[in-house]
Amino acid sequence: MIIAIDGPAGSGKSTIAQAVAARLHLTYVDTGAMYRAVTLIALEKGIPLEDDDALGSLALDLDLHLRVAADGTSMVLIGDREITHDIRQQVVSRKVSFVAAHKKVRNALTVRQRRVADLGEAVLEGRDIGTVVCPGADVKIYLTASVEVRALRRKRQLEEQGICISAKTLERELLLRDSHDSGRAVAPLKKARDAVEIDTSHLRIDEVVESIVSVVDDVRAKKAEGC
């Protein structure tokens, strides 16, 4: 069973995908963390973010690992260095869409993501899972939420890190990122034709999880019937 969960920043992908994976005993794969990791290391190394060749080589050679911690949360490592929190810095959030737009970066990371998917039994979340990485996924979900709600969610996350930014500023940043993600030439953010869309704006996490599990149950039932 491969479940693809896509959607814009702040729509709840990571939280929901982790919860669904835990509920169904599947492997959770945060593909966005991979792009953030490349962005973080590129910034640290001073690699120009417009250099497709250099960024592609970095993405190809990076000793990147995704692991699940004892509490079920996702861990991101470069070699032995854990960068789980480092990749969530605001500077990375503001630059990751530029890095993710590069064809060679996407090609390198898509190969890694498909290797995980080929093992089966996984929940992959990102922006092009149902359309590019796993177009044959058993279940495709597209999460949405209003920009106001997404900005407030991001604001709360940043406040937990001791960072204070106005909701209006975050709304502008999210809209800019939406524009970059949906307008890029390679693997743009968009809903797969056969994806189930869920607006998470006014839903609790458990309500969204139940909706997705219900979709999974329907798909499994149809497979069992030979449909």
| pLDDT tens column, 212-224 | 999 999 999 998 8
**How far, in Å, are 8, 170, 192 from residue 142 at the CA level?**
9, 22, 8
> What's the confidence (pLDDT) of residue 213?
98
What is the reported pTM? 0.91
The topology (CATH level 3) of 2-207 is Rossmann fold (3.40.50)
pLDDT of the residue at 144? 97
Q: Which helix (H) or strand (E) holds 41?
A: helix 31-45
Which residues of the chain fall below pLDDT 70? 72, 227
Q: Which residues pair with 28 in a beta bridge?
A: 123
Q: Which residues of 66-75 are buried (b: 16+ CB within 10 A; e: fewer)?
A: beeeeeeebe
- The pLDDT score that the predictor gives to residue 223 is 87
- pLDDT one-digit tens code per residue, 153-173: 999 989 988 889 999 999 999
H/E stretch holding 16 reads helix 13-24
Q: What's the pLDDT at 57?
A: 97
Give the separation between CA 122 and CA 136, rounded to whole angstroms.
13
Q: Compute the radius of gyration of the chain from its Cα atoms.
A: 17
